[in-house]
């Protein structure tokens, strides 16, 4: 893999942001609204109850889930910039490989998601007293798992749009919302019906939030959950890469890539 070509994909996104500052706003505005909304909800619950502190339980979960969403949408948005400008032929008429292209999207997502995470941490810490140190150093490893899972879903979403055309963009945005009931962001997996529990345990995110709730409750870090979630996240990335490669090769073979437009759905 040529690192320079992969970084060139990210550089293009940087120039887009630099040339159109309005694109910078979505990097943090929605996550800021989420933190403020859930922050006031947790503050109200704490005032109404003498039970546990809801800030690390609820607001911390919202922060981490929003971070996961930012990672996924960061990849998707960078991909959509090429969709909207119909830039695929320019890219793949060059020596650029699929791995280099996807690596560039991932690197772009790293930068944009860090911006969103920084804004969320600033608001949550300054406004509502949330400290990720409440979870201990294990937080870093679990955040990395969410990051890997977000990458996998971002690549999968871009492959779906490449397969069905730009009109399928609506497939991508609601994916985090559809997965959140199974990820058990706000409640234990045991709360779910049995059939939903099977799906939950096939997702790395469910192990992350189960382990973090245990840490907040004073339990030791569940190393087994960390290992299982890491293996699952890596497996999802590998499967997503293969899926994107398969879709891309089909698009080239059928000529879909050359006539890519809003009506491309076959």
CB 76 within 8 Å of CB 172: yes
pLDDT of res. 262: 44
- 159-182 tens-digit pLDDT: 988 888 777 778 888 889 899 999
Residue 193 CB partners (closer than 8 Å, separation 6+): none
CB 35 within 8 A of CB 3: no
pTM of the model: 0.88
Q: Is the pLDDT of residue 6 over 70?
A: yes
Residue-wise pLDDT for 182-216, tens only, equals 998 888 999 999 999 999 999 999 999 998 888 87
First to last CA, the chain: 31
Tell me: pLDDT of 261 over 60: no
For the cut 50, the answer to whether the pLDDT of residue 263 exceeds it is: no
* % residues pLDDT > 70 (the chain): 94
Tens of pLDDT, residue by residue over 213-226, are 888 777 888 889 98
* pLDDT value at residue 135: 67
Instruction: pLDDT band for 113, please (50, 70, 90 cuts).
Output: confident
What pLDDT score does 230 carry?
Answer: 94
Q: Where are the alpha helices (DSSP H) in the chain?
A: 3-19, 29-48, 54, 60-84, 88-92, 98-128, 138-164, 175-183, 194-200, 204-216, 223-254
% of the chain surpassing 90 pLDDT: 23
**Is a pLDDT exceeding 60 seen at residue 146?**
yes
What is residue 189's predicted lDDT score, i.e. its pLDDT? 92
pLDDT of residue 58: 84
Tokens of 73: 């949408």
CB atoms within 10 A of CB 156: 23
Tens digits of per-residue pLDDT, 12-53? 888 877 777 777 777 778 888 888 888 898 888 888 877 677
Among 251, 40, 237, residue whose Cα is nearest residue 154: 237
User: Could you read off the pLDDT of 73-108 as tens digits, one per residue?
Assistant: 888 888 888 777 777 777 777 778 888 888 888 988
**Averaged pLDDT score across all residues of the chain:** 84
**Section 236-260 average pLDDT:** 83
């Amino acid at each position: 893999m040529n690192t320079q070509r992969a970084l060139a994909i990210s550089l293009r996104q940087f120039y887009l942001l630099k040339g159109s500052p309005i694109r910078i706003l979505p990097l943090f505005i929605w996550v800021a609204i989420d933190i403020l909304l859930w922050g006031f909800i947790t503050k109200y619950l704490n005032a109404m109850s003498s039970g546990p502190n809801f800030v690390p339980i609820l607001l911390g979960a919202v922060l981490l889930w929003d971070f996961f969403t930012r990672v996924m949408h960061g990849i998707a948005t960078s991909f959509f910039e090429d969709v909207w400008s119909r830039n695929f032929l320019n890219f793949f008429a060059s020596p650029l490989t699929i791995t280099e292209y996807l690596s560039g999207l991932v690197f772009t997502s790293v930068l944009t998601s860090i911006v969103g995470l920084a804004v969320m941490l600033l608001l949550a810490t300054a406004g509502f007293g949330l400290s990720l140190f409440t979870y201990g150093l294990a937080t870093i490893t679990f955040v990395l798992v969410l990051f890997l899972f977000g990458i996998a879903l971002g690549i999968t979403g871009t492959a779906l749009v490449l397969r069905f055309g730009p009109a399928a963009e609506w497939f991508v945005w609601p994916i985090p919302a559809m997965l959140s009931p199974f990820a058990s962001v706000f409640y234990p997996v045991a709360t779910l019906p049995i059939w939903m529990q099977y799906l939950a345990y096939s997702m790395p995110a469910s192990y992350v939030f189960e382990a973090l709730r245990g840490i907040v409750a004073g339990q030791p870090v569940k190393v087994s959950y960390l290992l299982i979630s890491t293996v699952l996240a890596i497996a999802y990335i590998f499967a997503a890469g293969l899926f994107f490669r398969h879709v891309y090769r089909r698009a080239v073979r059928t000529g879909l890539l050359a006539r890519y437009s809003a009506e491309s759905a076959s």
